Amino acid sequence: MTAMTTLQWARLSDRLFDAAVLTYLVAMVGYAIYLGFRTNAAWAAARAVTVVGLGMHLTSIVARTVAAGRVPWGNMWEFSSLLAFLVVLGYLVIVEGVYKVRTLGAFPLIFSAVTMGVARIFGFYVAPGPLVPALNSYWLKIHVLAAIVGSSLYALGGGVLTILYLVKAAAERREAAALGSRPVPPVMGASQDLADPPHFVAGADDPVGETTARRRRGVLPPSAVLDRMAYRTIAVGFPIWTFAVIAGAVWAQEAWGRYWGWDPKETWAFITWVIYAGYLHARATSGWKGTRAAVVALVGFVSLLVTYYAVNLFIVSLHGYAK
Amino acid sequence: MSTSAPVRARMTPRQSLALVWRTLRSMRTALILLFLLAMASVVGSLIPQIPNSPERAASYQVEHPFWGGFFRRAGFFDVFGSWWFALIATLLFVSLVACLLPRTRAHLRTIRQPPVQARELDAFPQYAQRRVSAQPDMAIALSQKLLRRKLFRVQRAPGALAAEKGIAREFGSLLFHWAFLLILVGAVYGKGTGFTGRTAIVEGEAWTDARANYDGQIRTGRFFSGDFSGTQVGLLDFADSYRRTGQPMDFVSRIELADAQGNPLGHTDVRVNHPAEVNGVRIFQYGYGWAPVITIRDGDRVLFDGPVIFTQDPAPEGVGQLALPWRGVVKLPSLDPQVGLEVILWPDFYAYLRFQATGQPVPMTEAHDPFITIQAYRGSLTSPSLSGLETATMTTWEDAFVGQGQTKELGEDGNGGMLTVSFPELRQYSVFQVSRDRGVWIVLVAAILILLGLMPALYTSRRKVWVRAKPDGDATLLRVGGLALQRKEQFEEEFAKLVDELARVCGEPVAVEPERAGAR
């Protein structure tokens, strides 16, 4: 086999990108079937398809690296691709791996497919190429990688899992009201053991009991489990995001002679940081636990999207070259 | 307290102060302040800020007179320098300190104080008992050894142990929060005693770090004492390279440094992302441009001779900055009437023709065969700035077209002499940002402490274990109680394992009595 040219690598990367999106969509259907009917075969197939999609996606990213001759996080197209990849990977590792929850695969896959679709449709695509001198920095590479990893954890924890938590917590309150009992206290954190079940165990995906309305209950995992997963994911993401902001400041000091200048990108990274710091504090504050803290996490997710999309596309910023 | 009548009298000043203090200390206040800080930042990112983009802030006020006026009065064009942003930040820091002081005092007490023995072990959330073969004293000693090996702090009493682990959580949390005060100190000290300025140096020329040499392009801190370093910077040459696509590849300034006394300090390269540091001052590659050397003679008398710094107008929407023409101004105030020259630099004849034909400028990344076009004006020079030419009060005079190495006649000076223009040489200049911030290291250390503090604060938990041993027939009854302040569900597993290990080191159970209470 003769060596591939840069152009061939670039084409391979693009084709695999599209193929990965389609694969994720197929896997999403499988996960949705498992969510609705708990068909084990659907889960097994969906998971296998997801892993295949991840493999293609990873190959796409590697091919891009070869084509560009540098790290694959130099522009918005590449950020989007890497972010989507990490969210799916994060789901497999954290939700299925650590917490043994298998019902939620469709949701992170929706997020990733949409992220990649947006990158495709709104023309973030640029041919792989070298970076301008300002971006050619050791610290920048670290800064951007940390920002993407942090973003993926926020997207998974503060976005996907938090939305699911809010949906489930609302459903639990409704059901409790229908049963005429007191609602299960939507405790976030660890102050009440009742709402703080042990690590998820085998069989926990099974629908839980029957209500008086003979309606199947527990399509989603209990809200306390969703809450714990969301919290832990954000708690891993927060130091990484903090590090990303610090690495960005170190780079700014080298490139622009000031570590902080309230450039819109810096400002929004700071806003996102402040909101998630608020979330971590809210969980430890009475009266803010539960739904309220979750809403804070969701606001943080919106802020993340602004930091990522709006600042790059609509706000004049020193980070404008990230387009 | 024996006060029986809780009459809601007016609070004494002392009581009001205590109330304010308590309010500031509460997490709710801190949360609200955090969100206010976030909201203020949102405003600062959406409305153009004067320190970041003064032109956009100015044009916004022209385009939106009503909102512009309101925003200006509210300080929305300089959010991060406004009094209310400073107020939010100050309150947040006061709230932080108010919260940290008692917590730190309590934490220091916890560190000094050995773990406290418990009364009722089986009242704890975790409790287990095992029969072991070691004698009670021996069992306690062995348990102590095991717990110490697991990094518990252990306090021993006759027949009993109190152990505790995970103080790092609170320590990390305190470190994380105190470090923000350190950032504040570093930022105030560094910005307050430092300065940031900009200067352009033409190839072959030298520049000295002193206030006058910044031409007003300098911002100094509030406590800046005027102690410029006097460092001399000479630009040996500047090189820019581009890819075939026109994308810039590298910008390098080779500079020669000397101290205030003129003693050479050596050569160094300044690149984007690679500043030079000398005498506590850092020199950053900020920009660059063309500086044609222009000589103007009136007969044999030299009126002007030297490189002229050419600049580009800000690019309109959708036009690359590089593509705009380079312009410069030469003033001849000694003539009567005075003469001002508007000069445009072209990389070669093709670029000039193309611009005349299509209006499309060609980016000047290289100069193969450069020439300048001159439009001269006569009248009185009114613009005080070096590079500004106010042509409204002047009349159009001659024009000229001078290639590199050529000399051309411009026109008569009014006294019968002939003005000539030469363009002997084309040089480049480099724009440097020169700044001094002595607080950077404090801020960096604080940032590292923030990260170091965050890890234990988020990922460890404080837990306590008590062990008792008493004779039970010919064996020993080992009773273990446990309590976790955080991460209770994980502690459950850890506790079960710990009990198994304790039983193992104290000897296999004599009689099987698996009376494990488990979680309560």
Q: Would you tell me how many other CB atoms lie within 10 Å of the CB of residue A182?
A: 8
Interchain pair B275, A242: CB under 8 A: no
Quick one: average pLDDT of A291-295?
93
A85-119 confidence digits (pLDDT tens) = 999 999 999 999 998 899 999 999 999 999 999 99
Interchain pair A281, B30: CB under 8 A: yes
Nearest Cα residue to B364 out of B212, B242, B256: B242
Q: What element of type H or E holds B340?
A: strand B338-346
Nearest-Cα residue of chain A relative to residue B488 = A190
pTM of the predicted model as reported, rounded to 2 decimal places: 0.84
Instruction: Report which of residues A316 and B477 the model is more confident about.
Output: B477
Q: Which residues of A touch B451 (CB under 8 A)?
A: 239, 242-243, 246
Q: What is the DSSP string of A157-177?
A: IIIIIHHHHHHHHHHHHHHHH
Nearest CB to A257; choose among B42, B80, B284:
B284
Rounded CA-CA distance B304/B301 in Å is: 9
Rounded CA-CA distance A169/A226 in Å is: 9
Q: Does A194 touch chain B (CB under 8 A)?
A: no
Determine contact, residues B238/B271, Cβ cutoff 8 Å: no
Rounded CA-CA distance B411/B418 in Å is: 6
Low-confidence winner among A36-50, A207-221, B132-146, B390-404 (lowest mean pLDDT) = A207-221
Quick one: average pLDDT of A139-151?
93
Rounded CA-CA distance B138/B131 in Å is: 13
Instruction: Report which of residues A2 and B249 the model is more confident about.
Output: B249
Sign of CA dihedral B284, B289, B292, B298: negative
Beta-bridged to residue B290, according to DSSP, are: B428
Q: Would you tell me how many other CB atoms lie within 10 Å of the CB of residue A109?
A: 30
Residue B360, classed as helix, strand or coil, is coil
Sign of CA dihedral B274, B280, B286, B290: negative
Rounded CA-CA distance B25/B18 in Å is: 10
Q: Does B518 touch chain A (CB under 8 A)?
A: no
Mean of the per-residue pLDDT values of chain A = 83
**Residue found by looking up tokens 């714990």 in the block:** A228
Q: What is the DSSP letter of A75?
A: S
* Residue A65 clears pLDDT 80, i.e. is over it: yes
pLDDT of residue A163: 96
What angle in degrees, to the nearest 10, is found between the helix axes of A223-256 and A162-179?
160
Roughly how many angstroms between the first and final C-alpha of chain B, as a whole number? 36
Q: Which residues of B touch A130 (CB under 8 A)?
A: 243, 247, 249
Q: State which amino acid sits at residue A111.
A: F
User: Hey, what are A45's tokens?
Assistant: 């197939």
Instruction: Report which of residues B82 and A216 the model is more confident about.
Output: B82
Interchain pair A255, B272: CB under 8 A: yes
- Residue to mutate among B26, B41, B450, with most A CBs inside 10 A, is B41
Rounded CA-CA distance B140/B350 in Å is: 94
Q: Which residues of B touch A275 (CB under 8 A)?
A: 35, 38
Q: Does B491 touch chain A (CB under 8 A)?
A: no
Q: Which residues of B343-370 are buried (b: 16+ CB within 10 A; e: fewer)?
A: bbbbbbeebbeeeeeeeebbebeebeeb
Q: State which amino acid sits at residue B485.
A: L
Nearest-Cα residue of chain A relative to residue B39 = A271
Q: Does B219 touch chain A (CB under 8 A)?
A: no
Residue B372, classed as helix, strand or coil, is strand
pLDDT of residue B453: 96
Contacts with A, B 249-288, CB within 8 Å: 249-251, 271-275, 282, 284, 286
What angle in degrees, to the nearest 10, is found between the helix axes of B13-25 and B83-112?
80
Interchain pair B28, A285: CB under 8 A: yes
pLDDT of residue A183: 46
Contacts with A, B 41-60, CB within 8 Å: 41-42, 44-46, 48-49, 51-53, 56
Q: Does B450 touch chain A (CB under 8 A)?
A: yes
Interchain pair A250, B27: CB under 8 A: no
Interchain pair A133, B272: CB under 8 A: yes
Residue A318, classed as helix, strand or coil, is helix
Determine contact, residues B230/B213, Cβ cutoff 8 Å: no
pLDDT of residue B183: 95
Contacts with A, B 110-149, CB within 8 Å: 125
Q: What is the DSSP letter of A264?
A: H
Nearest-Cα residue of chain B relative to residue A260 = B187
Interchain pair B27, A193: CB under 8 A: no
pLDDT of residue B417: 80
Rg, C-alpha atoms of chain A: 21
Q: How far, rounded to the nearest angstrom, does the alpha carbon of residue A213 sit from its chain's CA centroid?
A: 35
**Residue found by looking up tokens 């599209």 in the block:** A18
Distance (Å) of CA A174 to CA A168, A179, A236, B145: 10, 9, 32, 53
Q: Does B34 touch chain A (CB under 8 A)?
A: yes
Contacts with B, A 248-267, CB within 8 Å: 249-251, 253-264, 267
Kindly indicate the confidence band of residue A319, based on its pLDDT and cuts at 50, 70 and 90: low
Q: What element of type H or E holds A145?
A: helix A138-154
pLDDT of residue A69: 84
Q: What is the DSSP string of B392-427?
A: TTEEEEEEEEEETT-EEEEEE-SSS-EEEEEEEEEE
pLDDT of residue A272: 96
User: Hey, what are B485's tokens?
Assistant: 């302040």
Q: Which residues of B touch A274 (CB under 8 A)?
A: 34-35, 37-38, 41
Beta-bridged to residue B378, according to DSSP, are: B339, B395
Nearest-Cα residue of chain B relative to residue A261 = B52
Q: Does A19 touch chain B (CB under 8 A)?
A: no
Interchain pair B196, A258: CB under 8 A: yes
Interchain pair B53, A316: CB under 8 A: yes
Interchain pair A190, B28: CB under 8 A: no
My answer on whether omega of the bond before B248 falls inside 30° of 0, hence cis, is no
pLDDT of residue A194: 33
Nearest CB to A190; choose among B41, B437, B488:
B488
Q: State which amino acid sits at residue B15.
A: Q
**Residue found by looking up tokens 């001198």 in the block:** A133
Rounded CA-CA distance A302/B478 in Å is: 54
Quick one: average pLDDT of A8-33?
94
Going by C-beta distance under 8 Å and a sequence separation of 6 or more, which residues neighbour residue B419?
A: B296, B297, B298, B303, B339, B409, B410, B411, B412, B413
Residues in chain B with pLDDT values less than 50: 1-5, 512, 516-520
Give burial (CB, 10 Å; 0-12/13-18/19+) of B308: buried
Percent of chain A at pLDDT above 70? 83
Kindly indicate the confidence band of residue A317, based on its pLDDT and cuts at 50, 70 and 90: low
Nearest-Cα residue of chain B relative to residue A194 = B489
Quick one: average pLDDT of A249-270?
88
Q: How far, rounded to the nearest angstrom, does the alpha carbon of residue A83 sit from its chain's CA centroid?
A: 7
pLDDT of residue B8: 57
Rounded CA-CA distance A146/A129 in Å is: 22
Going by C-beta distance under 8 Å and a sequence separation of 6 or more, which residues neighbour residue B448?
A: none
Q: Does A59 touch chain B (CB under 8 A)?
A: no
Residue A48 C-alpha, separation from nearest chain B C-alpha, in angstroms: 31
Q: How far, rounded to the nearest angstrom, does the alpha carbon of residue A174 sit from its chain's CA centroid?
A: 28
- Residue to mutate among A256, A279, A311, A321, with most B CBs inside 10 A, is A256
Determine contact, residues A266/A248, Cβ cutoff 8 Å: yes
Nearest CB to A246; choose among B243, B451, B487:
B451
Q: Would you tell me how many other CB atoms lie within 10 Å of the CB of residue A231?
A: 24
User: Hey, what are A66's tokens?
Assistant: 């070869």
Rounded CA-CA distance B264/A221 in Å is: 72
Nearest Cα residue to B477 out of B485, B486, B487, B467: B467
Q: Which residues of A touch B248 (CB under 8 A)?
A: 132-133
Beta-bridged to residue A126, according to DSSP, are: none
